[in-house]
């Protein structure tokens, strides 16, 4: 049995690992939120369009037509919502991509921060000890600063 110490974790590799795990974890939630935002945009369009033709019941005077969109200065908002509602696939795709990228970046920053914390503690304490043992009884040969691992039997 061979004992090794993990003295340092590379920040770049930790960030890549954190980004991928954060993005993959956020993907199912991103799909749900993207479709939910699509539904909200459609609902908002129908609501604002309905406000254009609303009426106020004035009792004996009858019903007075009122354009609430114009009254509340929501014309630009209605135009934007109508444009977004005409492009449902693009809206869903962009919201999904934004959520996955943001979650991946947040996770990458967090994982890098944890790697820096580990590196600081490993400099003081010597790092984690890991014991390696070959399953088939062979000897593992590790070369310094190389990715080659050879197995001798």
pTM of the model: 0.73
pLDDT per residue of the chain (153 residues) written in tens, 0 to 9: 677 788 889 999 999 999 999 999 999 999 999 999 999 999 999 999 998 888 888 887 888 888 888 888 999 999 999 999 999 999 999 999 999 999 999 999 999 999 999 999 998 888 888 887 777 766 666 666 555 555 555
Nearest to 1, CA basis, from 130, 126, 150? 130
Rounded to whole angstroms, what are the CA distances from 55 to 8, 58, 64, 74?
70, 9, 5, 17
Contacts of residue 69, defined as CB under 8 A and 6 or more positions apart, other chains included, come to: 48, 51, 52, 75, 78
CB 110 within 8 A of CB 60: no
CB 107 within 8 A of CB 19: yes
Residue 100, Cβ density class (10 Å: 0-12 exposed, 13-18 middle, ≥19 buried)? buried
């Amino acid at each position: 049995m061979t004992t090794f110490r993990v003295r340092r974790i590379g920040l770049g590799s930790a960030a890549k690992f954190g980004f991928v795990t954060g993005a993959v974890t956020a993907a199912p939630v991103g799909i749900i939120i993207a479709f939910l935002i699509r539904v909200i945009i459609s609902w908002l369009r129908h609501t604002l369009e309905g406000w254009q033709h609303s009426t106020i019941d004035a009792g004996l005077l009858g019903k007075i037509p009122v354009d609430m969109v114009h009254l509340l200065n929501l014309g630009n908002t209605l135009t934007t919502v109508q444009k977004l509602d005409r492009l449902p696939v693009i809206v869903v795709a962009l919201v999904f991509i934004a959520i996955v990228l943001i979650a991946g970046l947040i996770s990458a920053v967090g994982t890098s921060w944890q790697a820096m914390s580990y590196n600081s503690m490993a400099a003081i304490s010597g790092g984690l000890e890991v014991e390696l043992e070959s399953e088939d009884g062979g000897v593992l040969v590790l070369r310094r600063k190389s990715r080659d691992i050879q197995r001798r039997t």
